[in-house]
Each structure stands twice: as C-alpha cells, then as structure tokens.
Amino acid sequence: MPRILIMGASGSGTTTLGKAVADRLECPQYETDDFLWLPDNPPYQRIRHMPDRLHQLQAALIRSRSWVISGALTGWGNPLVPLLDLVVFLTLEPSLRMTRLRAREAARFGEQIQPGGAMAESHRTFMEWAEAYDVAGPDQRSRALHEEWLAALPCPVLRLDSSGPLAAMTEAVLAQGRNQRRVAAAGRG
C-alpha cells in the first residue's frame, strides 16, 4: 500500500489532489496544516512546537498502512522521509495559483479577511508570503527550499503541473504507485 506526500506552493492544489488520491486508495488523507497549527479561533495564529506536531502526525500515520499527506514536511518532517514511497510535487503558474488562492481564502474565511476583520492582518501577511514562493530563497518555505529538499529524497518524485484536470493528475499518481510496486515486487522475486 502506498504512502504518498503531495506538496507544492499554497494554492497549487495539494489538498484537492490528496483527497482525490486518498479516496481512490481508500486510505486516510492528512493535512500538514492540521499538525502545524494549534486549533485557534480565528485559525492559523499559533504554530505547534515541532516535537509535538511530529509526534501527532507520526501517531496518526501508524494507524494505517497506506496514507496520503498533503502539504510540506520541509523543516520538521524529515524523520518521516523513510516512510515515503512517493512524493508528488505540484507546480502552477504563479498568477493562476494566486488567483486560486484568493478565491479559496475568500470562500473559506469571508468577512474575517476583509479590512477590519479578525484575520485581516494575518491574511495579508499570508498572501504576501504565498506570492513570494516562486522567487524567495531557501530561508523560507519557497520553491528553492522545496527543490533542495526534493533533491535529497530517497524515493521517487513525480512532478505535475496542477493546471491539468484533477482526474488526469490522480491517474498519474496512481500509475506511478503501481509502477513502483511492480518494480519492488520484481526486486524481491
């Protein structure tokens, strides 16, 4: 059973693809944000201490032989790397990604992110950070940091442009998983 990480910039579709793949594999999907952030209202105000988030995610993963993680593990999830069978790295043209991200945030938080809203300042900071993903250096969560992390992985990395149809991306991930299982079975045989 595959253990898959789907990562990419905010707004690239990691959650959407992760859910689709997990549904097809009939396995759980975990969001790194659920482990990274403490449950506050409004959300995304305080980051959980690294040992705690890692421990909680490890405890969740132990419950199933197969799973999909959506989001980044860079900087805190390296102990989980040996568990990964496949990493999927989603890319998307930056202006399209930011358009998707703005729409997602508006649908998710509505008035809270408008000027004067409870999340207005944190939303502004988040959007500036997200927009810098493709040009920032490896000192923040960025494409540069992700590329460094991906280059060091011992498992295969599947790169997908997430502007394509969800069904096609889902099939590409599942096909990669089937190919890996055939190779692994041949190596044991």
User: Which pLDDT tens digit goes with each residue over 123-153?
Assistant: 999 999 999 999 999 998 999 999 999 999 9
Residue whose pair of structure tokens reads 């993903």 in the numeric block: 133
pLDDT at position 181, please?
A: 67
Neighbours of 51 (CB within 10 A): 9
Q: Give the Cα separation of 168 and 158 in Å (integer).
A: 13
- Residue 10: per-residue pLDDT: 95
pLDDT bracket for residue 106 (50, 70, 90):
very high
8 Å CB contact between 78 and 154: no
User: Which amino acid is residue 33, in one-letter code?
Assistant: D
Which range of residues forms the domain containing residue 108?
3-188
Q: Please tell me the distance from the alpha carbon of residue 39 to that of residue 46, in angstroms, as a whole number.
A: 8
The total domain count for the chain is 1
Pull the structure tokens for residue 48: 């959980």
Interatomic CA distance for residues 42 and 19, integer angstroms: 24
Strand partners, 126: none
Provide the β-strand partners of residue 86.
4
Domain of residue 100, CATH code: 3.40.50.300
Beta carbons within 8 Å of 182's beta carbon, 6+ residues apart: none
pTM over 0.85: yes
